[in-house]
Every structure is written in structure tokens, then in C-alpha cells.
Amino acid sequence: MSPRNKPKGEQQGWYVYGIVEHDVEVLPDTRGIGDPPAPVETVVSGDIAALVSRVAVDQPIGERGDLLAHEDLLDTVALDVPVLPLRFGAVMSSRDAVAQELLEPNHDLFADSLHELSDEVQYVVRARYVEEALIREILDEDPDTAELAEQLSGKSMESTRDAQIRLGEMIGVAAEAKRRADTDALIEAIGPLVAATNVRAPTHEQDAAHVAMLVDRDRDAEWEETLGDLARTWSGRATVRLLGPMAPYDFVTTTQTT
Amino acid sequence: MTTATQSTGGGPSGGALDRPSGSSLAEVVDTILDKGLVIDAFVRVSLVGIELVTIDARVVVASVDTYLRFAEAVNRVDLAQSGGKGLPEFLEGAQETGAEKKVKGAAKGAIEAAKDTIRDWNDDDGGRRHQPDGGRWRDREA
């Protein structure tokens, strides 16, 4: 181990962001996580390389700046070259360990995956119901729920708590069914136009759809128009956000073991 | 740099698709804490334990809390208008609101207000400590 590679104290580690092809160059002013943000380097092994930066291991990580820096680095890289993003929080003891224990034993798997993803980036579609429209839709469609809502109308939450919970559950079950139907509609519209889709778990009770998709990095696209059409169809009923392009976080998890 | 701010521009010409220039912090968390290669699957020995301080603000979508929030949402809706004011009229109202917002940059505009998606993140600095899988991040170096 060269002196440069040796961490100065016992409390240094190497944070690993992701895997790229061996010839990826990191611009000198690229910074990663930490305070102050640490310079990002590569550790090369064969045809692949890891994006890494020094990290002090006696300090907790995961503050806002760290999370944004991790994502920002990977998403910026993904704009130009294929990258296999690691889940946030991977730290190894040395650059040698990154090469010998992460890159070398998994070289072919990572190289193949990079090759497979060479032309693709990820986008995430998040649709969220407009609250009032959602409630009205459900009450219009289900007389039982509407009747209970009518009975509870104007009553205090405290004095009718059990019935309120029952009403909320009925709304929740109906919203869940709508989410499934709307997610299916989204997949049906977009699915044939993209390389892959991944339905994510809802992160909010008023989510209408939460879907990641893998699309061609350069080709301008029919899927975007189709998504715009769908968003217009849902206008007033649900808002649709399109996030990306980003690294293919949702499409590298197949080898996960527990 | 990705930031937690969001585009709140509104598209006047029916652009209903919101394309923010960056993700909100909540959206970043959904992605980088839940997705991506899990290094444990590849490396066992030289992982270094490091404490993660992140906020686990994910909503359990079927809980008493969410049911109560739905019940409150029903209370906010004027039931007397149900049926009287149909969906088309409501849509009209929503579109007017959307059209009032200024267009900002992007050709495809936005109709979503920023407060909604970052609502869960108001306690940004008082977040709970979150250690996935009960100690996955412990030092494995002997």
C-alpha cells in the first residue's frame, strides 16, 4: 500500500458511490459527501472502476448534504456514462479493499451489467392525487362511504373517533384500489415504450402511482409525449412529476441477497 | 447540484407534466436508501461500520394515522357540494388555479405546489437515527 493510499488515522474509510467503466475520468473539482466535501477518485480494476472518496468513520453520515451529494454525483455521471449506483452508506477500509474485495471478485458481473445499461438512464414518475378530487371521486362511487361521511359531517373528530377511523379506512381502501388501477394504466401506456419499469411502493397515502423506468439516454421519446398526455388526462385529479434523468438505482438490485 | 427546491411553474398550454430540475430530499431518500446495489451482497470482510443519520419519514399507507388523515380530508370537503358541483366544474377550478401560476423556465410546466411533496420533511433536523437491518453497518473488520 502506497503512503498516499494509506488513511492518515484509524478513523478513515473509503466511501463507495458506484461502479463505472475503467476509462471514466473524474474531473478534478468533483466532490462527494462529507464536510468539507471530499474529492472523488476512482479505484480501477481491469475493465471497471469504483467511484470513491475519503470519509471519516468516527462521524455519522447521512445528513441532507451527504444524501444530496451521493445522488448528485451518480446522476451527473449517469448523464454521460453507464454507472451502477450503490445504495447510500457503503464504506470500505481502504482503496486496496475496494479493488480486491469489491471489484475483482465481481468484475465480470459488474462489467456485464455496465454493458447492458450502457445506453440507458432512469426516470421516476410520481403521481399524487389532488385530495379534494380523490375524496369526491370515492364518495361519488361508493354510497356506503358517502353515507358515513354524511353522518359524521360537522361532528367533532374526538367524539366520533372510531367511526372516523372506519371512514378513513374505507377511503384508504378505495384509494388503494385507485392507486392500483392508475398504476396499471400508467404501465400500460408507458411500458411498451421503455426498456423496463419498476413499480415502487407508495410513499404517501395519496400517491396515485410511483414508477421507475429505464429509458434510452439519447433517444427523444415517445414515452415522454405519452406521459404528458396521461398527465393532461389526470389534470385536476392527480399531479404528475417526472424525475430524472438519474442513475439506474431501481434496475441494479437483482443480485441483492439478505 | 440537486436541491430540495422544486419548480412551481405552471404551464398555460395544458402542460400538466411537472419536470422539476431536482428531486426533493424525500424523493432522494426514496431512491438512494431503498434502491441501488447493496454492498453487503458483494463484500463481507472489509466493510467499515459507520453510523447513518437519516430520517425515516416514509409513510405507512395503511395505518390508523393515515385513516384519520383521510377522515380529516373528508371533513375538509364540503359535502353539500357533492353532486351539486360535479367533477368537470371542479376540474375547471383546478385548471384556473394552475394557470394563475407563472411559467418558469421549462417548456413543460408544472401544476403542483411545492409544499405538498416536502411536507413530510419539516422535521429535517430532528430526524431519527436509522440503522437498516439492525446493525448492518457495524464494523466487520476483525
In this model, does residue B140 exceed pLDDT 80?
no
Q: How many CB atoms lie within 10 A of CB A254?
A: 7
CB contact under 8 A, A235 and B14: yes
| B123 bridge partner residues | none
User: Between B60 and A185, whose confidence is greater?
Assistant: A185
Report the pLDDT value the prediction gives residue A198, as an integer from 0 to 100: 97
Span A59-87, mean pLDDT? 95
In this model, does residue A8 exceed pLDDT 60?
no
Report the pLDDT value the prediction gives residue B49, as an integer from 0 to 100: 85
Per-residue CA distances from A15 to A18, A202, B45 (Å) = 10, 30, 15
* Residue B59 in grid coordinates: 409513510
The residue with cell 411502493 is A201
pLDDT digits (tens, 9 = 90+) for A211-245: 999 999 877 689 999 999 999 999 999 999 999 99
Q: pTM of the prediction?
A: 0.78
> Is B85 a domain residue?
yes
pLDDT digits (tens, 9 = 90+) for B46-58: 899 888 887 666 6
Q: How many CB atoms lie within 10 A of CB A221?
A: 14
> Is B114 a domain residue?
yes
Q: Are A63 and B53 in contact (CB under 8 A)?
A: yes
* Residue A30 in grid coordinates: 468533483
Mean pLDDT over the full length of chain B: 59
> Is B7 a domain residue?
no
Confidence of residue B84 (pLDDT cuts 50, 70, 90): very low
Report the pLDDT value the prediction gives residue B59, as an integer from 0 to 100: 64
Overall size of chain A counted in residues: 258
User: Between A186 and B112, whose confidence is greater?
Assistant: A186
Shortest distance, CA A154 to any CA of chain B (angstroms): 8
Q: Which residue of B has its CA nearest to A250?
A: B35
- B121 in contact with A at a CB cutoff of 8 Å? no
Which residues of chain B make contact with A237, given a CB cutoff of 8 A? 87, 91
- The pairing of strands A48-56 and A196-199 is unpaired
Q: How many domains are contained in chain B? A: 1
> Is B97 a domain residue?
yes
> Is B121 a domain residue?
yes
> Is B135 a domain residue?
no
Domain ranges of chain A: 3-118, 121-251
Q: How far apart (Å, rounded) are the C-alpha atoms in residues A171 and A157?
A: 16
The ipTM is 0.84
Q: How far apart (Å, rounded) are the C-alpha atoms in residues B121 and A27?
A: 33
Residue by residue, DSSP assigns B70-118 as HHHHHHHS-GGGTTTS-HHHHHHHHHHHHHHSPP-S-SS-----HHHHT
Domain extent at residue B69: 25-37+55-126
